């Protein structure tokens, strides 16, 4: 059973449908006790970092999430679900994240770019992980974001993407898999990525 966290925002139904289509059971919940018992956790998200952290805190999810990840529960973060893993975001001043991964979330600054980045862009695979099984280098995925993560530990970077600069578009460390793009909006390859995560959870 893959547990998808509902904090009041995000593409929950698209993610749920994607996993169901890939052949995996899904439970959407906003209850911390469900996360504590989860076989795997997915945190999708759209919107502002500050609002996401506020809602996770209000739901009593922050400590539960950190504990579950630290004990080895497979975790897939999508968009904001990637960003909140880090120490802080500069969006609307400074907001503390879960601090599971060291680093900051910063904004695209180039005046030549359209911000947010919205649309298809390609992945440069730096470190292959099981999440990218059957997904070729330079594959295109769908992005919608104004901010991106800057990890202190460059060894956790799975892929980068070029948008004015080369930024981190996914990370992996131990049981943590997290992506800036939206696999649930990325058609066939996105479905393959959700299937890959399900296979990781199932030990395949």
Cβ-Cβ contacts under 8 Å for 182 (sequence gap 6 or more): 11, 78, 79, 141, 142, 143, 144, 190
Active-site choice (16, 52, 55, 79):
79
Element (H, E) at 75: strand 75-79
Active-site choice (16, 52, 172, 182):
182
3 state SS of 196: helix
DSSP notation for 5-52 = E-SS-S-HHHHHHHHHHTT--EEEE--HHHHHT-SEEEEEE-S-HHHH
145 labelled catalytic: no
Q: What's the rounded Cα separation, in Å, for the pair 34 and 180? A: 25
- Dihedral sign computed on CA atoms, order 166, 136, 187, 44: negative
Asked if 127 contacts 143 with a C-beta cutoff of 8 angstroms, the reply is no
3 state SS of 203: coil
Cβ-Cβ contacts under 8 Å for 1 (sequence gap 6 or more): 25, 26, 27, 38, 39, 40
**Which amino acids are annotated catalytic?**
79, 182, 184
């Amino acid at each position: 059973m893959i547990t998808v966290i509902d904090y009041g925002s995000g593409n929950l139904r698209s993610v749920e449908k994607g996993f169901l289509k890939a052949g995996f059971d899904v439970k959407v919940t906003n209850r911390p006790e469900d996360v504590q018992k989860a076989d795997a956790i997915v945190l999708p998200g759209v919107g502002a970092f500050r609002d996401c952290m506020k809602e996770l805190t209000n739901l009593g999810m922050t400590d539960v999430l950190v504990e579950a990840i630290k004990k080895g529960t497979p975790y897939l973060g999508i968009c904001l679900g990637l960003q909140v893993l880090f120490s802080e975001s500069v969006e609307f001043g400074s907001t503390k994240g879960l601090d599971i991964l060291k680093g900051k979330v910063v904004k695209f600054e180039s005046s030549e770019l359209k911000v947010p980045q919205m649309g298809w862009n390609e992945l440069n695979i730096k470190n292959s992980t099981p999440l990218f099984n059957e997904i070729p280098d330079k594959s295109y995925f769908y992005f919608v974001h104004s901010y991106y993560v800057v990890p202190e530990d460059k060894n956790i970077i799975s892929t980068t993407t070029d948008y004015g600069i080369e930024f981190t578009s996914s990370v992996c460390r131990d049981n943590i898999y997290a992506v800036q793009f939206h696999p649930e909006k990325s058609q066939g390859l996105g479905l393959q990525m959700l299937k890959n995560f399900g296979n990781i959870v199932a030990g395949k």
